Amino acid sequence: MAVTIKDVAKLSGVSISTVSRVINDSKPVSPEVKRKVLEVIEEIGYKPNEIARTLVTKKSYLIGVIVTDLADSYVADMVRGIEEIGKMYNYDILLCSSYGDKEAELKYIQLLNRKQVEGMILISSTLDDEVDKKVSEYDIPFVYLSRYSKSEKYPTVSIDYHFAAYEMTKYLISLGHKKIGYVGYLEDENSTQYEKLNGYKRAMNEMELDSSYIFKTKGLNIREGYSALNSSLTENGVTALLCSSDKIAIGALNYCYDNNIKTPEDISIVGFGDIQIASLIRPKLTTVKEPFYDIGAVAIRKIIKELSKEPSEEKHIKLPYQIQKRDSSRKL
């Protein structure tokens, strides 16, 4: 027979409401009574009914996390940051993978709300209008994490993409490169991709260098990075490429390999992100290191602060990044 709260109360010699106060830490109880109740709970192995407890305390200690695909190493790193910091504050994670399907995101947001999560984090390339509308219906803390699109409406955690691209371009210029191209996905002007493009242009214009060597991709993967390049790369004498993501940079590396363009001897190629494969390919990729673990950790800490009524940081948090210098770039 299952042990109940009535059994704990009877053996402790106190009321059921007193046991409830001890379990939920909701109202003051004398140290002697609290110690006696906890001893009985330990002795008879009582486990509180979590559903009933949530209804009473309005606290589930659950944070919902919706991701695109855990197979992406940067997503896995963000989730690790979310999970480890959550554990420090006794929060568990309910994790859902949408695989980029907006209908799945919508379904999971509704599911997580039914599970009474106290906060929600969405890791997704774009914030769909219907998803936005549904999130707005729920009065719980929400953080949006994306490497590709921006949100003024919801709290975000990221790096300063404009300045990171600016600094990376300045680094290439310091190596003696003057004809530097940019490779990226430029379909949405209100995106981090354009922030990077503008950072590149700013650095080039400051040095009065030509910033018109733009190679547009049709997507964000390796294949698109490969397809974006053409014979004008060598015809224009471009000696370096700033790519808007590591995957696009790997596509560029493959294109150069297939066309007998040596990296970094003939052309330096740099990326963005420092995903796990960036240091495993050859040549090892010079890139902007985004702190994915820290982004996840700060996101859940922001939610926990809001739940605890603690003073929070600014709405859009920018974390430090690093220029990771490796073998795919060299001095002319």
Q: Look up residue 186 and give its DSSP letter.
A: -
**Residue range 29-82, pLDDT digits in tens:** 888 888 888 888 888 877 766 555 555 556 778 999 999 999 899 999 999 999
In this predicted structure, what is the pLDDT of residue 289?
98
Give the model's pLDDT for residue 318.
96
Say which DSSP state 191 is in.
B
pLDDT, residue 310, reads 82
Residues pairing with 184 in the sheet: 216
Query: What beta strand segments (E) does 78-234 contain?
Result: 92-97, 119-123, 142-145, 156-158, 180-185, 214-217
Distance of CA 7 to the CA centre of its chain: 46
**Local structure of 96: helix, strand or coil:** strand
pTM assigned to the model: 0.83
Output the pLDDT for position 46: 74
pLDDT value for 38: 84
Residues of the chain with pLDDT under 70: 1, 25-26, 48-58
- Cα separations in angstroms, 98 against 122, 131, 134, 236, 313: 10, 12, 16, 42, 29
- From 111, 134, 104, select the one nearest 62 (Cα to Cα): 111
| Predicted local confidence at residue 214, as pLDDT | 96
pLDDT at residue number 58: 62
